[in-house]
Amino acid sequence: MMNQLAHSTCEDYLTVRRVIELISNNWKEQPELDELAGAVGSTPTQLQKTFTRWAGLSPKAFLQAVTLDHAKRLLSSGLPLLDASYELGLSGPGRLHDLFVTHEAMSPGTYKAKGEGLQISCGFHDCQFGKALVLATDRGLAGLAFCDPGGEEETFEDMRARWPNANYAMQPEITSKYAERIFDLENWKSDKPLRIVLIGTDFEIKVWEGLLEIPFGSAATYSDLATKIGRKNAPRAVGRAVGRNPVSFVVPCHRVVGKSGDLTGYHWGITRKRAMLGWETGMVAA
């Protein structure tokens, strides 16, 4: 199963992205495979293969996993939430993720100085969620963002605005090693953890640390997260901090949903959020 990730490509994601949009807009009609294939200029067989290679499950199962309606039903029928996950003996991909990622917070001075004196290597890499912009320092992964082909400049400027005084260098030969580890589950190894550095306010870092404790394949509400970090009366502030998470996917802000189960806004696109949750569901179910 994990070997399938090596075959994930940006081209696959573009096809999957369009199909997810169709599913999201037409889930009540439960479109058939041949309808979806025709809409994206593919054959049913080709689309079946692409989806299976990309997500580890069939298009029909993926439709069930990623539509908004299904997300609501999962939550109402017992999808593990943050407050419950700490009571469970975690195993499999969720526990593996916990062990794989280690983190440290950059000094408050670096954040206040807007990154002054910080050297950041950057690079764009294809992944199963489109184009990934990886930002790294000599202390570890500092940023991870996403875009579709053609949106690279806008995405880079978005990330650079977070720490405008840092020194940036396009060095994909350096960032490629991070991309290889992040997007291939075969490289998620507890004896060789991925080191990340968090650059933000003390409150933001506390929220981001809470995100790291949401298990792979699960979801939490903003209220759950706020309660867990001791700020139960500040879910909106927590939501803003979630939205400012600079290390998407690795620090899993995509696993936070609205109180009713709605897949609320995601900085890199709600379709991409659905894709991430659906992909994780596929990895757990496979």
* 77 inside domain: no
Mean pLDDT (the chain) is 80
pTM greater than the 0.75 cutoff: no
Q: How confident is the model at residue 86 (pLDDT cuts 50, 70, 90)?
A: very low
Q: Which of the pair, 273 or 185, is modelled with greater confidence?
A: 273
Is the same domain home to 109 and 186?
A: yes
| pLDDT score for 81 | 37
Highest mean pLDDT out of 5-19, 76-90, 185-199, 205-219: 205-219
Asked if 147 is an active-site residue, the reply is no
Hey, what amino acid is at 144? L
**What is the number of structural domains in the chain?**
2
What share of the chain in percent tops pLDDT 90?
39
Is the same domain home to 51 and 124?
A: no
pLDDT in tens, 127-140: 888 899 999 999 99
Is the same domain home to 7 and 92?
A: no
pLDDT in tens, 91-119: 344 444 444 678 888 888 888 899 999 99
Choose the catalytic residue: 122, 127, 147, 253.
Answer: 253
Is the same domain home to 100 and 208?
A: yes
* 210 inside domain: yes
pLDDT in tens, 66-79: 554 444 454 444 44
Please spell the DSSP secondary structure of the chain, one letter per residue: -GGGGGG--HHHHHHHHHHHHHHHHHGGG---HHHHHHHTT--HHHHHHHHHHHHSS-HHHHHHHHSHHHHHHHHHTTPPPHHHHTTS---HHHHHHHHHEEEEEPPHHHHHTTTTT-EEEEEEEEETTEEEEEEEETTEEEEEEEE-TT-HHHHHHHHHTTSTTSEEEE-HHHHHHHHHHHS-GGG--TTSPEEEEE-S-HHHHHHHHHHTTSPTT--EEHHHHHHHTT-TT-HHHHHHHHHT-SBTTTS-GGGEE-TTS-----TT-HHHHHHHHHHHHHHHH-
Q: How confident is the model at residue 260 (pLDDT cuts 50, 70, 90)?
A: low
| pLDDT score for 285 | 60
pLDDT in tens, 197-248: 999 999 999 999 999 988 887 888 888 899 989 998 888 899 999 999 999 9
Is the same domain home to 199 and 245?
A: yes
Is the same domain home to 140 and 17?
A: no
Q: Residue 34 belongs to what domain range?
A: 2-70
Is the same domain home to 122 and 96?
A: yes
Is the same domain home to 86 and 63?
A: no
* 256 inside domain: yes
Domain boundary at 19, 38, 70, which? 70
Is the same domain home to 157 and 202?
A: yes
* 131 inside domain: yes
* 75 inside domain: no
Is the same domain home to 56 and 86?
A: no
CATH of residue 250: 1.10.10.10
* 243 inside domain: yes
